[in-house]
Amino acid sequence: MINCKMIDMPAFAGEYGQLNAIEGGHNVPFKIQRVYYITKVPKNVMRGFHSHRALEQVLLCVNGSVKIRLKTPSQEEVVELNDPSKGLYIGYMVWREMFDFTKGAVLLVLASQHYTETDYIRDYAQYLQESRKYFKEEDLKK
């Protein structure tokens, strides 16, 4: 999936449990400016339904599992996050929808910028218009 990738977070696991280490600029490819987490999502609730223009994020499901639908104008993929050692990097201009949160699921999100509502694209038609232009310009740079 364009502008997305899975990242392995080093795990220190043993008879006392498991610790995962995350370092901004190392295993997360940006300086972490913001952290938030999503919990207590009722059954059958879907979240997200937006893209960001200039924000990078890494999503980790540190308890339970959740599915993330990723879309660009030409691709669509569903990724299941169910392992605290696996992060999903989402770069610019990727539409995301989060669903099938299990009971007690905790979705941890690391973000490259502070919260800015103007960076969101929440309307899908607007997303298609801007992202088609964005990806065409990215192709031209190659």
Which pair of tokens denotes residue 68?
Answer: 């993330």
Q: Is 48 in the site for ligand TYD (CB under 6 A)?
A: yes
C-alpha neighbours within 13 Å on the C-beta side of residue 100? 10
Count residues contacting ligand TYD (CB under 6 A)? 7
Is 52 an active-site residue? Answer: no
Instruction: Please give the Cα distance from 21 to 44 (Å, whole number).
Output: 31
- The residue sitting closest to ligand TYD, measured at its beta carbon, is 47
Q: Is 40 in the site for ligand TYD (CB under 6 A)?
A: no
Q: Is 136 in the site for ligand TYD (CB under 6 A)?
A: no
Binding part of the chain for ligand TYD, among 21-29, 46-54, 60-68, 82-90 by CB under 6 A, reads 46-54
Q: Is 69 in the site for ligand TYD (CB under 6 A)?
A: no
Instruction: Please give the Cα distance from 59 to 86 (Å, whole number).
Output: 9
Mapping DSSP to helix (H, G, I), strand (E, B) and coil, where does residue 129 land? helix
Which residues are known to be catalytic? 50
